[in-house]
């Protein structure tokens, strides 16, 4: 059995003082961004309340608004159908001057796994733009927006700088 080299230290060994590691989301800096819904009921107001940022409703921000846009849609068929035309229009210069499309945020429309046809549509969206997913949250349905962002949505919390 082979062993590595032995290291001998004379005298007392000082134990370095370490602070507990800071969560990654706590180091993120707040950014100016606007949530823009692609259809009614997409979840823009809820996301703005939980993650911060400007609730843009269904309109692009104006000249004094945040320069970064997060498009929001539900994961049902109508919601996913609304995504690609708007992403394409934004890429062709359809967004207001000085406003950039940051990503698409897909909010679960129901608990559980998505049917295959919807999962396929999401893969198509992911092939053309950054996508962040937000799982179903029962508490949000009841109006409880307190607490941390939901498990599984940590990348979105880092992107937005949300700290709770």
User: Which domains are present in the chain?
Assistant: 30-160 (3.40.50)
Q: What is the C-alpha to C-alpha distance for residues 138 and 90, in angstroms, rounded to an integer?
A: 33
Interval 96-137: pLDDT, tens: 888 999 999 999 999 999 999 999 999 999 999 999 999 999
pTM of the model: 0.79
Helices within 10-145 (DSSP H only): 24-27, 44-51, 77-89, 116-126, 138-141
Average pLDDT value over all residues in the chain: 84
Interval 62-96: pLDDT, tens: 888 899 999 999 999 999 999 999 999 999 999 98
Q: What is the pLDDT of residue 17?
A: 53
3-state secondary structure of 72: strand
Tell me: pLDDT of 13 over 50: no
Contact 71, 104 (CB under 8 A): yes
What is the largest distance, in Å, between two alpha-carbon atoms of the chain? 71
Summarize the confidence of residues 39-53 as an average pLDDT: 94
């Amino acid at each position: 059995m082979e062993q590595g080299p032995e290291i001998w230290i004379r005298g007392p060994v000082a134990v370095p003082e370490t602070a507990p590691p800071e969560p990654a989301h706590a180091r993120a800096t707040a950014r100016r961004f606007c949530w823009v819904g692609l259809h009614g009921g997409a979840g823009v107001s809820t996301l703005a309340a939980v993650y911060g940022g400007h609730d843009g409703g269904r309109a692009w921000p104006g000249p004094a608004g945040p320069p970064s846009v997060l498009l929001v849609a539900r994961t049902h068929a109508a919601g996913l159908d609304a995504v690609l035309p708007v992403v394409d229009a934004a890429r062709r210069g359809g967004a207001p001057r000085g406003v950039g499309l940051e990503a698409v945020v897909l909010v679960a429309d129901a608990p559980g796994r998505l049917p295959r046809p919807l999962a396929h549509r999401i893969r198509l969206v992911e092939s053309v733009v950054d996508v962040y997913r937000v799982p179903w949250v029962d508490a949000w349905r009841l109006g409880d927006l307190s607490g941390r962002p939901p498990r599984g949505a940590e990348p979105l919390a880092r992107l937005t700088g949300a700290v709770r």
